[in-house]
Amino acid sequence: MTRPSSSLIVTTYNSPRFLELSMRSVFNQRMLPDEILVADDGSGEETRMLVEELAVESFVPVRHIWQPDEGFRAGAIRNRAIEAAKGEYIIQIDGDMILHPAFVKDHIAMAKRGTFVCGSRVMLDRNLTETILNTGRIDLKPGEEGIKSPINGRRMKLLTPFFARYKASDGTYARSCNMACWRDDLMLVNGYNEDIRGWGREDSELSWRLINAGVKKRFLKFGAIQYHLDHKENSKDLDPRNIELMERTRREKLTWAKNGIIKADER
């Protein structure tokens, strides 16, 4: 199959120090995406200026997709980025992730029509995170001190195919910080459900709708490695409501998000 054009969406909110490290790990990719979209959920001027500076350095177009700060609305800003994306294949990460140099290459190699891909992440502890913030280093290794779940940091291409069907029928196991999907399939289900606000479940709910629509889920293990910088967790106060929205999608086999990229009054 010919390599698809790709858009990398990087979601962020008022974390410019993390975002700069994440973006520099994107610039360090062995295979660059065709464009980078910074999906900004209402950050201030510091983030805007940083994105402008990084865009000058980048070998591929960098676009800043911004929405006003009206609380945690990750699904909504990702929808704006998906709508703006020009690539056939959309890879999603969060702006608190440092990517292995083969991250994009591994996702592109996994791209297959009729499927979407979910990966995992490697957690870093506070001490290693502080060291990284102070030094700016992005050359992380799975065995070094401060890395949790080091097995997730092992890149072993020969083993990847054996795990592709791991939890293939379970939409709940999905993380938008390491996820890839054909843009056409995201439009088919109308992107993220913007009724889900606050931390969590917007990615799992989307995953269930893709599965319900006949798009098969695949798991990317021992590839597309990313390291998660340690930080204070967001409030999970809205999680019970978000879980119920996700469960309704699963139970009723819903495929279309009424409050998604296309709004009800636009149809």
Spell out the per-residue pLDDT of the chain, length 267, in tens: 689 999 999 999 999 999 999 999 999 999 999 999 999 999 999 999 999 999 999 999 999 999 999 999 999 999 999 999 999 999 999 999 999 999 999 999 999 999 999 999 999 999 999 999 999 999 998 888 999 887 888 999 999 998 888 888 888 888 889 999 999 999 999 999 999 998 889 999 999 999 999 999 999 999 999 999 999 887 888 889 999 999 999 999 999 999 999 987 665
**Quick one: tokens of 5?**
């054009």
Confidence (pLDDT) at 265: 66
Q: pTM value? A: 0.96
21 assigned to some structural domain: yes
Q: 267 lies in a domain?
A: no
How many structural domains compose the chain? 1
Enclosing domain of residue 46: 6-262
| Euclidean distance between CA atoms 184 and 214, whole angstroms | 13
Instruction: Note whether residue 112 is domain-resident.
Output: yes
Rounded CA-CA distance 218/6 in Å is 18
Written as six digits, the tokens of 4 are: 């698809």
In a domain, 1, yes or no: no
**Residue 64 counted as domain residue:** yes
Q: In the numeric block, which tokens belong to residue 80?
A: 């704006």
Any domain includes 150: yes
Q: DSSP per residue over the chain, as a string? A: -PPPPEEEEEEESS-HHHHHHHHHHHHT-SS--SEEEEEESS--HHHHHHHHHHHHH-SS-EEEEE---SS--HHHHHHHHHHH---SEEEEEETTEEE-TTHHHHHHHH--TTEEEEE--EEB-HHHHHHHHHH------TTSTTBSSGGGG---TTTGGGGTTTTTT-TTS--TTEEEEEHHHHHHTTSS-TT--SSS-HHHHHHHHHHHTTPEEEEE-SSS-EEEPP-PPPP-TTHHHHHHHHHHHHHHT----TTSSS-GGG-
**Does 113 reside within a domain?**
yes
For residue 160, what is the domain's CATH number? 3.90.550.10
In a domain, 235, yes or no: yes
153 with 122: CB under 8 angstroms?
yes
